[in-house]
Chain A
């Protein structure tokens, strides 16, 4: 902003300088012309009075020429170029010629003044004017700049403070006081606003924790009671199957609850811990774990190890979710391949039809089919984790395979 102000000042001053220089030029040249003319008239008057007194002033060409003429003509002034013997070159003169009747004789009196001199004066004035105004301008420019800097310092300082403002830090935002009324008012309003935002954030966090707590305790009670019923030895096989089916649903609810809590935590940016994580090592481990549960063949083809800086817990969730998604939606028990190349991983699983609405793929609770039981949050969590670190996640359907890619190259923050 200061730059902008300086720029405006610079151009305005420049324009003013040019206009005033022109004005000065014309004014001074007009003034000088007046002066020259006055001089010519007074010289002419002196010659006239000398002639009247009977003296015949000798001609002093090209300055003064007195000639007797037969007929008078009108008085005129003009610029004329004549040869100046003293300078031995053609020079520009201003000339006044009058015809006077003195002692019944007609005289033509021509008086001339060298214009060069007045021109030089004119240029000297203009030049010194430019130099002075230029110096004033430079001085003003820097004075203004430093003064503005001082004046605006609290504003810029506070702006920096606001940029570093984080809901996670416990410290309140510290503003520099300013004597300028507008600035101190702005500070007051922003302080109020941040306090309110912080309060709301705390409330929301508390709410999430409360909901999570309140949901999990009843679930724990239901689950514990079911286990005791099963061990009562009075249940029938049908009842047992129904009870274990309830257990399954409780597990789903628990998963849903956990994932929702995780999503909220991600949205609240509560993960600030960072470590160097080898993504390929995590994938190897996940493949080992999953191969015990699932009959689908999983393989990792890597050209290099991918090491990123992120929360280790989130790194594991990210990889687990994207791979378990592939397992869940894999058809025909085809093998699943994971390719790690440069800074990206691509997970591909078999699926004849491309996804109908890829734009909704990462939306929470979006499910392509109702056949597969899922919380509908797995990919939403993947997207949120990627967003948190600036990674890019994308979907493509290539050769009857669903391909999900995560590019771990950190994109420049989009909220600039």
Chain B
């Protein structure tokens, strides 16, 4: 996949590049408005990650330019402003998703993959990992072509694991992905264990031992 990261904060930009390149993505960067406009008009990208507050201009203007040139790239807006009106404006202008700073890179990664999956980029709406196949349209998972019975949270969890395979995910990241702002409610993460253990049991039952514990309290979805 070819990605463009338009972000004026260089350390954040580089962190995103490091994380996203692990999946074999090609990441290009734009550090200001002019560079972003220049790159989007010259090249085609699969997904463009666009900060609204670019140092020399607004990311929303880059978005308008993209739509004017009828570029097919998927667009994810990053903003430090979590106001609803900004979000709606971005989505109205044709952005595919909206994410507020600070965000987890794993979360960004799964949003990028979700944008790519949506049919209009010619992507397949199913993800496969060895014998596991996830149909994101029907929101169902199959293991060796046998349908799995998963709860909604278990399905979300599996999808999150598969899109962030080979990466260590802390309980905090998982909880935030599944429950958003409410994840701070429970002081211990017992409820996460319950969901992860259930999913793990269901996978192990079919011989798919991919959910590994990392560093004692984190998780990693991997073949190794």
A residues lining the B interface (CB < 8 Å): 209, 212-214, 216-217, 219-225, 227-228, 230-231, 235-237, 240-241, 243-244, 247-248, 250-252, 254-255, 258, 261, 265, 289-290, 292-295, 313, 320, 324, 327-328, 372-373
Contact = CB atoms under 8 A, between A and B. Distances in A.
Contacts of B184: 251-252, 255, 373
B106 interface: yes
Which 10 residue pairs across A and B have the least CB separation, nearest first? Answer: A224-B15, A240-B215, A220-B102, A220-B101, A219-B102, A216-B80, A213-B80, A216-B101, A244-B170, A227-B105
A227 B19 contact: yes
Given A224-B15, A295-B190, A290 B185 contact: yes
B191 A293 contact: yes
Given A289-B179, A292-B179, A294-B185, A212 B15 contact: no
B100 A237 contact: no
A220 B12 contact: yes
Nearest to B190: A295
Given A224-B19, A244-B172, A292 B217 contact: no
Contacts of A231: 19, 22, 167-168
B84 interface: yes
Nearest to A313: B84
A227 B187 CA distance: 21
A216 B184 CA distance: 18
A237 B45 CA distance: 38
B171 A293 contact: no
A220 B149 CA distance: 36
A258 B153 CA distance: 25
A327 B185 contact: yes
A293 B102 contact: no
B6 to A, nearest CB: 14
Contacts of A320: 182
Nearest to B99: A220
A272 to B, nearest CB: 11
A247 B171 CA distance: 10
B127 interface: no
Given A224-B15, A231-B22, A293 B186 contact: yes
Contact of A244 (B9, B18, B19, B218): B218
- Dominant secondary structure of chain A at its interface with chain B: helix
Interface in B166-224: 167-168, 170-173, 176, 179, 181-187, 190-191, 195, 214-218
B118 interface: no
B103 interface: yes
Contacts, number: 124
A327 B172 CA distance: 19
Interface string B13-26: 00110110010000
Given A217-B101, A251-B183, A293-B179, 4 more contacts: A224-B16, A237-B215, A240-B214, A290-B182
A213 B185 contact: no
A221 B216 CA distance: 25
Nearest to A223: B102
Contacts of A254: 102
A12 to B, nearest CB: 59
A126 to B, nearest CB: 77
Contact of B191 (A216, A220, A292, A373): A292
Interface string B138-181: 00000000000000010000000000000110111100100101
A231 B168 CA distance: 6
14 contacts: A212-B82, A220-B9, A224-B105, A225-B15, A227-B15, A228-B105, A231-B167, A240-B215, A240-B217, A243-B170, A247-B173, A290-B185, A294-B191, A313-B84
B53 interface: yes
Contact of B102 (A216, A228, A243, A261): A216
Given A213-B53, A244-B171, A247-B170, A223 B104 contact: yes
A373 B187 contact: yes
Listed residue (B12, B190, B217) with the most chain A CB atoms within 10 angstroms of its CB: B12
Contacts of B195: 292
Nearest to B218: A240
Nearest to B103: A220
A240 B216 CA distance: 9
A324 B101 contact: no
Contacts of B179: 289, 292-293
A227 B181 contact: no
Contacts of B190: 295
A232 B166 CA distance: 11
B81 interface: yes
Nearest to A291: B191
B182 A324 contact: yes
Given A228-B19, A231-B168, A293 B173 contact: no
Contacts of A328: 185
A221 B82 contact: no
B189 to A, nearest CB: 10
B19 A250 contact: no
Contacts of B168: 230-231, 240
